[in-house]
Amino acid sequence: MTHPMLRLVTKESYELSVPTEVSGARSRVASNEQLSFSFEDDDRFDGRRIEIVSMDGLHGKRLCELILSKKPRVALDLRHVIRFDLPGTSREQVLSYFRAANTLYVRDPLPWHALQRKDFIVGNRVISQRLEHETVERKHSPVMLFVPKDEHAGFLAAYLNRVFSTRGGEPWEILTAH
């Protein structure tokens, strides 16, 4: 998959085809055209992308910005209580952002009170079948995971790194948002 670093922007046409090969010849740019550079490399990652969102203390506006900017294919809520009535937003507004981003919202609460740090870091224990299915087995990316606290985000990142490492395959990236 190729991503051009340079594209020509004109006033006449917005549907320009992207050249497959850049020629070494110089050409003059008309006065009504300009060259623009794209340094965004968010779309260049071809592996799995997991975004872990810690909901403790998160502002509703930030949550909506995350949903619209990341456009997750799947949003997996691992909290016991669904609470999207955060300051700055409402449950209806968050669910409408999921619809606008074409995101599948799924609930799979984890027993956070019964889990210890070692359960996430070492061992072969499966924390959640649904979690592994949505993040490792399915080819959907990006996936957004909602956890109750910041410490849970760290535990879950360690767990997913361990699972992706043992299963091999394509590259992955795990990000956390607060």
Residue with tokens 């909602």: 146
Tokens found for residue 152: 């849970």
In DSSP terms, which residues pair with 49 in a beta bridge? 173
Q: Looking at this protein, which amino acid is placed at residue 29?
A: V
Pairing of strands 48-54, 143-147: parallel
Q: Which of 132, 95, 126 is nearest to 111 (CA)?
A: 126
Q: What is the DSSP string of 89-154?
A: --HHHHHHHHHHTTPEEEE----TTT--HHHHHSSS--S-HHHHIIIIIS----EEEEESSHHHHH
pLDDT the model gives residue 21? 44
pLDDT value of residue 155: 87
| Residue 119 contacts residue 142 (beta carbons within 8 Å) | no
Which domains are present in the chain? Answer: 42-177 (3.90.190)
Question: CA separation (Å) from 117 to 25, 112, 122, 150?
Answer: 59, 10, 9, 13
Average pLDDT value for the chain = 78
Pairing of strands 172-177, 143-147: unpaired
- The string of pLDDT tens digits covering residues 72-109 is 999 999 998 888 878 888 889 999 999 999 999 999 99
Residue 100 pLDDT: 93
What mean pLDDT comes out for the span 21-39? 50
The encoded tokens of residue 65 equal 């910005």
Tell whether omega for the bond before 87 is within 30 degrees of 0, i.e. cis: no
Report the range of poorest mean pLDDT among 38-52, 121-135, 141-155, 161-175: 38-52
Eight-state DSSP code of residue 50: E
> Whole-model pTM above 0.75?
no
Question: Max CA-CA distance within the chain?
Answer: 67
